[in-house]
Amino acid sequence: MEAISHSVEETEQLGVELAKSLRSGDVVTLIGEIGAGKTTFVRGLALGLGVAAGSVASPSFVLVRQYTSGRMPLYHADLFRLENLPQAANVGLEECYEAGGVTLIEWANKVPGVLPEQFLEIRFEAMDPESRRLTLQPHGPLYQGRKFLA
């Protein structure tokens, strides 16, 4: 499944759309280079879950941020800084998976072994300064056969 965004606003809107189809317990990985649009997408997704606009920041010193004001809890992790700290792989993601909300993980590819068996992967690619290609890949029966972006 693929979607093209031509602007920051369109990427946010794709996040809003995805939020509609997410269920409690879902885990979504966001993969792509720096500036590919992962956090932009998370902002829209948070909005789509009903989290107050403008409250999403990149997790930095905190590796996981949680937002509880939406229709279900949202956990937003960014593992970029964990690249050289494999021993820190346990940042509490297991707890997020089991907490009955949605977990979004930027740079999940930096830390092997941190993912659950099943998850939805979204790849972000910059096609030009303003355009991004998003590719959705379900991993596991929990995500196969579901419609994610209308």
Ligand X SMILES: Nc1ncnc2c1ncn2[C@@H]1O[C@H](COP(=O)(O)OP(=O)(O)OP(=O)(O)O)[C@@H](O)[C@H]1O
- Is residue 74 left, alpha or beta, with left meaning phi > 0 and alpha meaning psi from -120 to 50? beta
Site string for ligand X, 23-62 (x = CB under 6 A): ---------x-xxxxxxx-----------------x----
List the beta bridge partners of residue 27: 103
Please, which residue, 12 or 26, has the CB nearer to ligand X?
Answer: 12
Residue 121 sits in the site that holds ligand X (CB under 6 A): no
Kindly identify the residues of this chain, within the stretch 45-84, that bind Mg ion according to CB under 5 A: 58
- Name the binder of 5 from ligand X, Mg ion, none, CB < 5-8 A by kind: ligand X
39 forms part of the interface with Mg ion (CB under 5 A): yes
Q: What separation in angstroms does the CA of 34 have from each of 5, 31, 92, 109, 146?
A: 17, 10, 24, 13, 29
